Amino acid sequence: ERRRRQTAEALEASRGRARVEEAEGQQERRRLEAKLKGLARTQMLAAGRLDSTQARERQENLALVMGWRRRMLRRRGDPPTPTPTSGLRAAMSERESDGVGCSLAMGVG
């Protein structure tokens, strides 16, 4: 009876240790992944691929433009289209109907 209890306790203790080790391993993995992400980012910054403020501004500008386009399209009643050239096409077709020609709409001449 005593031996059975001892083996049960030993088994439980080893299970507890295994759980702790697993948790520590996951924590270490998360820490390393975060470190790698940071390194990749700093490498890109060092390479001059993206300046953090530039990247943030670019994203904010894009969000602003897309939001503005959605509102304008909703106001007109057209379904919003994801193509960024549709606004230019619309401007061109309006100008063409005015008889100006697309060269002016494109900014040429």
Q: How confident is the model at residue 96 (pLDDT cuts 50, 70, 90)?
A: very low
Domain ranges within the chain, ordered by starting residue: 1-50
DSSP state of 79: P
More confident residue, 23 or 62: 23
Q: Which residues contact 74 (CB under 8 A, 6 or more apart)?
A: 80
Candidate ranges 16-20, 45-49, 77-81, 95-99; pick with highest mean pLDDT: 16-20
The alpha-carbon radius of gyration of the chain (Å, integer) is: 31
Phi/psi region, residue 25 (left: phi>0; alpha: psi -120 to 50; beta: rest), is: alpha
Q: State both tokens at 86.
A: 């549709």
Residue 19, pLDDT > 80, answer yes
DSSP state of 49: S
Using an 8 Å Cβ cutoff, are 101 and 95 in contact? Answer: yes
Q: What is the dihedral of CA 79, 81, 87, 89, to 10 degrees?
A: -100
> Tens digits of per-residue pLDDT, 48-86?
666 667 777 777 777 777 777 777 776 666 555 555 555
